[in-house]
Structures are given as C-alpha cells and as structure tokens.
Amino acid sequence: MLKQTLLQAIHAGALVIKENFDKQFTISNKEGINNLVTEVDLKSEQAIIQIIKQNFPQHFILSEEIGEVKQDSEYKWIIDPIDGTVNYANHIPICCVSIAIEKNGSMIFGAVYNPFMQELFFAEKNMGATLNEHKISVSEKSAVKSSCLVTGFPYTYLDSLNGPLQVFEKLIRKGIPVRRLGSAAIDLCWVAAGRFDGFYEHKLSAWDSAAGFLIVEEAGGKVTDLKGNYYNPYQPGIIATNGKIHEQLVNIVNGGNV
C-alpha cells in the first residue's frame, strides 16, 4: 500500500507540472536571488498531499512549500513538488517530482519522476533501484580525472574556504567535466544510472536529496556528507558517487589536489 500510494502521488504531481509547463503561471521569489516558487509548485504539492492524506492521514509530511504537517507517526513523507523550479519557470524540461518515505529515521522508499523525459526512478530499501522498472547500477570509473561529475550551487552562500566556486574551479581547470543541471534529485538519479560518476553539493534541503540518495545507495553507490561521514539528509552537504571515486572526491572537496 505504501509503494502504491507513493507511485500514485508522484504521478499526480507530475501530471500537474506537465499539464502546466507551456502555460502562463505566477512566479514569486523566496529567500535569495532566483530562489523561485511557482503556482504550479503549490498545485503539484496539493495533488500529492491529497493522495497521501486519503490513504495515510496519520502520517507526518515534510514538503518544500508548506513545510511540516506534524503527526505522531513513525512514517514521514518528504516531498519536493518540483525539483528544478528555476528550470521549470524558464520552460527547461530538466525538473522532476521527488518523494521519499522515511520510517523511524531510515529512508525506505524513494521515487523521482521527470515526466518530460518519462523517466521514473524508484528504490526500496534493500531491494535495489530501477529506472522505468529496469534495474540500474552505478558506473565503474575508478578515477576522478576520468569521471564526469555534476554539481549545483546554492542560492545563498558565503565565499568560504573550499566553497562551491573554489571546488568547481579546481576541477574544471584540470579538464574534468562538471555539469550543472539545476535539479539535485535528477543529479542523484543520474549517478545511480551511471550517467554521472559523482555528484557533490554544499547546501541542500532534505526534500532535494531524500529520495535520490536512497536511489544511489540501492544502485550500488555511496553517499556521505562533505567530510565523508554518514549521510543525513537534514544536514546540507552531500557527496554521492559510484563508490570507486568517493574518497578521491571527498579529498578534493575538502581542499586536496585533483
């Protein structure tokens, strides 16, 4: 029932964002420059939460736009109704719906759906990861120098030591391709599918990464915080890789040489 509701909810949210993609919609700004929210984010969120509440009215919900719907429950739904809102607002179809389910502090389900590419990534704890119901696994690259990486930049951050710009510059000056798609959930899923070998980002929220990090792990990858420690989606930094380049990338992000 959990899986069925999850899939029903993610398709409902995706239907909203696909139907409204080429229409006019209102756009407003949250904290920071170009930290956008559209009326479609809110409509997608509403469609998702309605389905969850119909089936599990007692479950805790954490969603990007409305925040917490607190309940005394061992289950928590973590929702991003549009991950990649800036892309969506500019009619760039690299965006998705991301939903994870946490039980007693452990992620047990994750789903990420880009309806424009018709790609549904899904993982269940200890059951592997799939793309459109076909099993996926991470890449086999063993060196950062031969890898294709992906990252993102926060809307607000200080020019701190080993910050996003410094790490990015260090990598690209060595000729390492580092892409920026604008959707952390898709970044993570593309690591899981072996399209990217590694992903790092300095500042994310739980709804950005909760589903994607489980999908990476279930595809055989490794996910940690920026220091290489246990990953908790409620702290900001993340490094996700195929596992083979993980220590190298952690070292580089923390000031080491490429």
Domain ranges of the chain: 2-135, 144-253
Residue 33 predicted with pLDDT over 70? no
Mean pLDDT across 88-94: 95
Closest CA to 27 of 38, 35, 16: 38
* Alpha carbon distance 54, 69 (integer Å): 14
Domains 2-135 and 144-253 share a fold: no
Q: Are 99 and 48 in contact (CB under 8 A)?
A: yes
Mean pLDDT across 235-248: 97
Which pLDDT value is given to residue 34?
Answer: 65
Q: CATH classification of 144-253, choosing from 3.40.50.300, 3.40.50.720, 3.40.190.80, 3.40.50.2030? A: 3.40.190.80
Sign of the dihedral through C-alpha 162, 164, 166, 172:
positive
pTM of the model: 0.95
Both ends of the chain: CA-CA distance in Å?
Answer: 47
* Alpha carbon distance 13, 217 (integer Å): 25
Tokens of 143: 């060196």
Model confidence pLDDT, tens digit, residues 115-133: 999 999 999 999 999 999 9
| % pLDDT > 90, the chain | 85
Please name the fold of domain 2-135: Fructose-1,6-Bisphosphatase; Chain A, domain 1 (3.30.540)
Mean pLDDT across 232-246: 97
Alpha helices, DSSP H, located in the chain: 2-19, 39-55, 85-89, 164-172, 184-192, 206-218, 246-253
